[in-house]
């Protein structure tokens, strides 16, 4: 297995393998680019079938973080870590202490945070061994409430701002009263987004594979529950994917009727070419890595120590970035994803 000739290599600065026999840790840290600052990116734990699958994932994700931070105007680079293991069976204190040592060995070039399969508890364990970890301490959040370190509320707020900008751009509406929104996934981000949309007067249609999450939205927010496949074809204004990636594909595209797609999920487009198809159909797509940057901004501020007012304003600047993307896409006749990529490149080069 070669790294330098790997299809996802894309000029990574550093790729390091970490092993600890005692705890069973097998992990990879990839640092894609540190031009704008130390590489920040989550630590994912997943039962990868083999090392090659883990390498592919870490390279792809770490490159994405370079773009996400650049687009969010953060003084941070892009990196990511993966632990090969099943988060339901293989977690232990020793494993995350060893991971903390591994992160520490890079001397701050890479800063870790929670990702799929890890959470605040694992960040706290790693923080026993390294200070290069985000989201491990409680502090005042962007909204003045105490934050546990979980960046999801900041992500949800950024998506909420993004929905408003997208709706204004595509539908010419200045408020969300009566706006019809379909939300796929009511987890940490999806439910909080639903709550804010409801508060702003929107009507909600929701689906989650966990019945308990659907029930909560129905009971607390008056949302309408719909089936797994029905969520795509609803006659709504906005489709907000907040579950998993790859859900905009040839099949779902045929069903989709919403003129706006704006949600938190990473890698929403199953294939990059689908952006052109969305554009052809007049669907305004808010690029995922632009709209879901609230969490990374939150962790960036935890490290830089900026005030909560500055943090809130920075999350709200996601709206300005999206407005710029939408306007440029119209002017240049290009897709929103291609403009977002160009903008990230420009900010990276200027840095
Ligand atoms: P989460 O695990 O808390 O919630 C995901 C929810 O989606 C769960 O309730 C799950 O049951 C549901 N789900 C899974 N498959 C589904 C399906 N087929 N149909 C409907 N629901 C389904 O995760 P989260 O933290 O809320 O993140 C949601 C998405 O946003 C993920 O794609 C994540 O990568 C992305 N994201 C999250 C953050 C963050 O700060 N948490 C930041 C950036 C991006």
272 Cβ partners below 8 Å, 6+ apart? 337
What is the predicted pLDDT for the residue at 351? 80
What is the predicted pLDDT for the residue at 314? 98
Contact criterion met (CB below 8 Å) for 216 and 233: no
What is the predicted pLDDT for the residue at 165? 98
Question: In Å, how far from its chain's centre is CA 256?
Answer: 22
From the CA of 190, give the closest atom in ligand 1. 26
Strand order, beta sheet including 110-114:
14-20, 25-33, 77-84, 39-46, 110-114
Residue from 57, 205, 243, 288 to probe ligand 1 pocket by mutation (most atoms less than 8 Å from CB): 243
What is the predicted pLDDT for the residue at 2? 87
The residue whose CA is least distant from atom 1 of ligand 1 is 187
- Residues having CB closer than 6 A to ligand 1 are 151-152, 155, 184-190, 207-210, 213, 228, 242-244, 264-266, 292, 295
From the CA of 247, give the closest atom in ligand 1. 18
How much distance in Å is there from the Cα of 74 to the middle of ligand 1?
A: 24
What is the predicted pLDDT for the residue at 59? 97
How much distance in Å is there from the Cα of 152 to the middle of ligand 1?
A: 10
Exposure letters 32-58 (e unless 16+ CB within 10 A, then b): bbbebbbbbbbbbbbebeeeeebbbbb
Average pLDDT of the residues of the chain: 96
The residue whose CA is least distant from atom 25 of ligand 1 is 188
The residue whose CA is least distant from atom 4 of ligand 1 is 187
Place of tokens 């305004």: 284
Contact criterion met (CB below 8 Å) for 334 and 327: no
Query: 268-297: per-residue pLDDT in tens?
Result: 999 999 999 999 999 999 999 999 999 999
From the CA of 189, give the closest atom in ligand 1. 26
What is the predicted pLDDT for the residue at 339? 98
User: Please, which residues bridge with residue 238 across strands?
Assistant: 181, 260
User: Sign of dihedral through CA atoms 213, 218, 224, 227?
Assistant: positive
The residue whose CA is least distant from atom 43 of ligand 1 is 292
* Cα–Cα distance measured from residue 347 to residue 332, given in angstroms and rounded to the nearest whole number: 19
What is the predicted pLDDT for the residue at 282? 97
- Residue 302 has φ and ψ, to the nearest 5°, of -60, -35
* Cα–Cα distance measured from residue 69 to residue 77, given in angstroms and rounded to the nearest whole number: 7
Report the share of the chain in percent with pLDDT over 90: 95
Domains of the chain: 14-67+76-137 (3.40.50.10860), 146-350 (3.40.50.720)
Output the pTM of the full model.
Answer: 0.95
Beta strands in 148-229, from DSSP E residues, in sequence order: 180-184, 203-207, 224-225
Contact criterion met (CB below 8 Å) for 193 and 215: no
The set of catalytic residues is 80
pLDDT < 70 positions in the chain: 1
Contact criterion met (CB below 8 Å) for 100 and 136: no
344 Cβ partners below 8 Å, 6+ apart? 66, 67, 68, 70, 71
From the CA of 184, give the closest atom in ligand 1. 20
* Cα–Cα distance measured from residue 152 to residue 122, given in angstroms and rounded to the nearest whole number: 16
How much distance in Å is there from the Cα of 93 to the middle of ligand 1?
A: 25
What is the predicted pLDDT for the residue at 147? 87
Contact criterion met (CB below 8 Å) for 154 and 298: yes
Query: 107-131: per-residue pLDDT in tens?
Result: 999 999 999 899 999 999 999 999 9
């Amino acid at each position: 297995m070669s790294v330098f000739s790997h299809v996802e290599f894309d000029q990574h600065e550093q790729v390091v393998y970490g092993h600890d026999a005692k705890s069973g840790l097998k992990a990879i840290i990839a640092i894609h680019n540190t031009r704008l600052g130390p590489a920040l990116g989550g630590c994912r734990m997943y039962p990868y079938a083999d090392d090659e699958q883990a390498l592919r994932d870490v390279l792809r994700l770490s490159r994405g973080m370079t773009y996400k931070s650049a687009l969010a105007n953060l003084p941070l680079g892009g990196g990511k870590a993966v632990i090969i293991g099943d988060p339901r069976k293989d977690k232990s204190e020793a494993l995350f202490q060893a991971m903390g040592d591994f992160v520490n060995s890079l001397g701050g070039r890479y800063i870790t945070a929670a990702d799929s399969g890890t959470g605040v508890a694992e960040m706290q364990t790693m923080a026993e061994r390294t200070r290069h970890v985000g989201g491990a301490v409680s502090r005042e959040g962007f909204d003045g409430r105490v934050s546990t370190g979980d960046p999801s509320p900041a992500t949800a707020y950024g998506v909420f701002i993004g929905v408003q900008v997208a709706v204004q751009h595509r539908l010419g509406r200045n408020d969300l009263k009566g706006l019809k929104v379909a939300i796929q996934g009511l987890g940490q981000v999806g439910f909080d987004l639903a709550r804010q949309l409801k508060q702003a007067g929107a009507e909600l249609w929701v689906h989650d594979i966990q019945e308990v999450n659907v029930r909560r939205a129905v009971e607390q927010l008056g949302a309408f529950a719909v089936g797994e496949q029905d969520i795509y074809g609803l006659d709504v204004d906005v489709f907000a994917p907040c579950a998993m990636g790859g859900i905009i594909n040839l099949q779902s595209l045929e069903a989709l009727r919403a003129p706006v797609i704006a949600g938190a999920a990473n890698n929403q487009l199953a294939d990059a070419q689908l952006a052109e198809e969305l554009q052809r159909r007049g669907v305004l797509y808010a690029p995922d890595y632009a709209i879901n940057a609230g969490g990374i901004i939150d962790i960036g501020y935890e490290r830089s120590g900026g005030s909560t007012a500055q943090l809130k304003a920075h999350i709200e600047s996601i709206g300005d970035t999206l407005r710029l993307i939408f306007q440029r896409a119209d002017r240049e006749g290009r897709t929103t994803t291609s403009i977002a990529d160009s903008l990230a490149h420009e900010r990276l080069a200027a840095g």
